[in-house]
Amino acid sequence: MLYEKLDCRFAGQNLQLIKQHGELTLELSSDTLIEVGYALRDEPDFRFSMLVDLCGVDYLHYGLSEWETTAASGRGFERGVDESEFRKAVRSDARYAVVIHLLSIELNQRLRLRVWLDEATPVLPSVMEIWPAASWFEREAFDLFGIVFTGHPDLRRILTDYGFIGHPFRKDFPLSGHVEVRYDAARQQVIYEPVEIEPRILEPKVIRDRPEDVREYS
């Protein structure tokens, strides 16, 4: 099985192999990403020739009771007002992670890689030399999360506007943004101004159990 082969191949290399919900996740550091990536692509036991997806994850508020969906929040929550008291990362030494989904067409098997990154310097090497399809995925993670991929030949924003400040998918980025865009008829040009929208208070969605005595009628 794939689990046993991975466990045997990478034993003693400070990696963690997680089997959960019928899926395998290999957690590793940015220092070993390239070496492990080549092994996963080229060695006969793995043959992960296809990169299906690459994305960033921000674990800033992961696990907070404010986001539980079986009970209502008593205080409300707004990421853009004051995030300090809601700050709680899933790991004390890492806030961001890059997740890579791999597929072996030849052996019909899948694997998820997760690379933990430091909050102050979310940097890791680009995997384009192994899987060229990562190019636009890495640009998207850079644009939305501010994760830097060293060695990428054209690392620039891909979704936000020219001169955009900040990274929209970070959980401490204001929901209303920092600036608003409008067309000025007098100047006959598009202008940028500080946003005037009042911060909204969000209430997490509450999922209520279905009562047992409810009857359906057709």
pLDDT, one tens digit per residue, over 165-213 is 889 999 888 877 778 888 989 999 988 888 877 766 555 555 566 555 5
- Calpha distance 188→201 (Å, rounded): 36
Nearest residue to 61 via CA among 33, 36, 90, 93: 90
pLDDT of residue 80: 42
pLDDT of residue 195: 81
Alpha-carbon torsion 123, 131, 98, 78, what sign? positive
What are the structural domains of the chain?
A: 2-59+94-173 (3.30.460.80)
Rounded to 5 degrees, what are φ and ψ at 165? -110, 130
In this predicted structure, the answer to whether residue 34 has a pLDDT above a threshold of 90 is yes
pLDDT of residue 81: 45
Nearest residue to 76 via CA among 84, 65, 87: 65
Q: What's the pLDDT band for 86 if we cut at 50, 70, 90?
A: very low
What confidence tens digit (pLDDT) does each residue in 93-114 have?
A: 688 999 999 999 999 999 999 9
pLDDT of residue 12: 81
pLDDT of residue 171: 86
Partners of residue 24 on adjacent β-strands: 19
pTM of the model: 0.77
Question: 24 Cβ partners below 8 Å, 6+ apart?
Answer: 2, 3, 6, 17, 18, 110, 111, 112
In this predicted structure, the answer to whether residue 42 has a pLDDT above a threshold of 50 is yes
Rounded to 5 degrees, what are φ and ψ at 95? -110, -40
What confidence tens digit (pLDDT) does each residue in 103-160 have?
A: 999 999 999 999 999 888 999 999 999 999 999 999 999 999 999 999 999 999 999 8
Measured in whole angstroms, the distance separating CA 146 from the mean position of its chain's CA atoms is 11
Cα dihedral 14, 35, 10, 119, rounded to 10, equals: 30
- Calpha distance 136→142 (Å, rounded): 10
